[in-house]
Amino acid sequence: MIDLRSDTVTKPTPDMLKYMMEAEVGDDVYKEDPSVNQLEEYMAELFGMDAALYFPTGTMANQAAIKLLTNPSEQLICDKWAHVYNYEGGGVAFNSGVSCKLIDGDRGKITADQVQKAINPPDFYHSPMSTLVCLENTTNKGGGACYHLDDIKAIKKVCDENDLKLHLDGARLFNAIVANNHDPKEFGALFDTISICLSKGLGAPMGTILLGKKEVMQNAMRVRKVLGGGMRQVGFAASAVYYALHHHVDRMVDDHRRAKEISDVLKTENYVSKVEKTETNIVIFYLNESVIKEAEFLSYLENNKIRISTMGEGKMRIVTHLDYSEEDHQKILEVLKI
């Protein structure tokens, strides 16, 4: 089966497994796991941020960041497709007691002008206090779209002028970095906190790093504990991440190329009504259900040992990744030519 539902389906490579088995480990709750400490120090230095903390999941890292940057009854501003709003089980309200002001952005991206207009007047006590802006790069539901750095800088300016914090859900941030030749420190200079999922494009089996400024991160261990995220000899997993950061970043260009080639084929087929712009490793397209129904299309792919995601109402998603070979790719291109 060629599984293109997500880049989370990858397995550790033989070399990664070997590196994991040779990892030096300790008790991370006591901050005595050398492999975790090495990873955290490396990531903080890479992004030019004060501190880093290893979390088991991206959702937990995002939720911790929101908890660290807000108080109950306040409000965060994000795009209507944001992961923190749509895919984290209502944790924003449950864990932090805050609400979301949703913006109708472009493919999951919002602008400085939209943020400015979404800020509640601080002296109007009937509405929640706006205190945080959450961005997502690349955007998940937006099809792997990347923010232009100048747009983030403009949003940062609005945040500074209105005393708002800025968090980046960087679940696939390395895809954006590779696609646009960014220096990671460019992002570190703009955000109060950044979460980076390491089990997506990088191909590590688990984990997310939360990066932040010293004054924010000094309470991150406590929040991780409250959320149940304390881990013990987790250096085996952290070492896989460290390996991936040194061996699996540059190769993302292949994922991006293959995604764009899939997009190009889909644009030629009459059973497709629309293909979103493809920038990284995610392809979003819409079926022309007068030509083929969703269930019929998915069955056709399954019969050809191909699996992709449906996002409902004829909206489909394909995600290329580390385990998707060139041989798999050529088969996909042929099968999609119905």
Q: For residue 66, give Cα distances in angstroms to 134, 220, 257, 289.
A: 9, 11, 34, 40
CATH number of 14-247: 3.40.640.10
Q: Residue 234 in contact with residue 36, Cβ under 8 Å?
A: yes
Q: What pLDDT does 312 receive? A: 83
Contacts of 225 by beta carbon, 8 Å cutoff, 6+ apart: none
Q: Where are the domains of the chain?
A: 14-247, 251-335
Rounded mean pLDDT, 78-97: 97
Structural tokens at position 119: 């800020």
Pairwise CA distance, residues 151 & 135, whole Å:
11
CATH 3.90.1150.10 fits 251-335, yes or no: yes
Lowest-confidence pick of 14-23, 192-201, 307-316: 307-316
Structure confidence by residue, pLDDT tens digits, 221-260: 999 999 999 999 999 999 999 999 999 999 999 999 999 9
Between CA 157 and CA 6, with CA 44 as vertex, the angle to 5 degrees is: 85
Identify the residue whose tokens are 């261990």: 221
Give the rounded percent of residues in the chain with a pLDDT score beyond 90: 99
Pairwise CA distance, residues 38 & 34, whole Å:
6
Structure confidence by residue, pLDDT tens digits, 164-205: 999 999 999 999 999 999 999 999 999 999 999 999 999 999
Q: Output the pTM of the full model.
A: 0.96
Report the b/e string of 299-327 with b at 16+ CB within 10 A.
eebeeeebebbeeeebbbbbbbbbebeee
